[in-house]
Structure 1
């Protein structure tokens, strides 16, 4: 892997990783503990934040993909890049739509305990896979 591609790819990967850790594992759970934040308010904030996060992630994914594609990477780097990008695509295209439908129902007054959804658990599980793949990818790119 050439040094410029590795440096750019590594930097973008670690920025992406930092954003996911900060939003998904710090901001999202803590916002519901803030005084005065009800479930509908938290959901409304969360939808805006995750829409912005996913847009930023998509841009960073493009930067990482281009950097890896132009850098003659090894198979592990390619595999980790694919894992991170595919997980993000699944989150956006498959998991977020049911989460949005559920939050629409809660925001329109439905009791959140009335219908439990596993989509949130799938999203979190995919976040863990993405974090592990981004951490490994960033380390490999920085070592290149």
Structure 2
């Protein structure tokens, strides 16, 4: 992989990973522990924060795909890049719409039982974080 593409891909990958770790694994669970934050307030904040995160992730994914595509990467880098982007696509296209519908109902005052959709999002977020970490290491070594 050429050095300029590798540098861009590495920077973007670790920036993306840092954002995922900070928001998904730190901010998201902690906001519900703050005094006075009710489930509807936490959900409202979460929707705004994750919408912004997902937009930034989409831009970073595009930059990453471009850097990798023009850099002449080894197959391992291409596969792991595709995996990270695919995991993001699964979250945005398959999981988030259901979570958004559910949070809209809660924000409208409905009381709903716990949902397993959130667990799927956390599982894909964990897989995405591990994939980004792997990608960052692979690109740094390429």
Q: TM-score range by the shorter chain?
A: over 0.9
Aligned residue in 1 for 2:48: 48
Structure 2 Cα separation of the partners of residues 78 and 92 of structure 1: 21
1:1-144 aligned at under 5 Å gives the runs 1-111=1-111, 114-144=112-142
- Across the aligned residues of Structure 1 and Structure 2, the Cα RMSD in angstroms comes to 0.7
Structure 2 Cα separation of the partners of residues 3 and 70 of structure 1: 11
Structure 1 Cα separation of the partners of residues 101 and 113 of structure 2: 12
Partner deviation per Cα, 1:31-68 (whole Å, 9 max, x = no partner): 00001100000000000000000000000001110000
Tell me how far 1:142 sits from its aligned partner. 1.4
Tell me how far 1:115 sits from its aligned partner. 2.5
4+ long deviations beyond 4 Å: none
Structure 2 Cα separation of the partners of residues 22 and 50 of structure 1: 12
Which TM-score applies when normalising by structure 1? Answer: 0.97
Tell me how far 1:116 sits from its aligned partner. 2.2
How many residue pairs align between the two structures?
Answer: 142
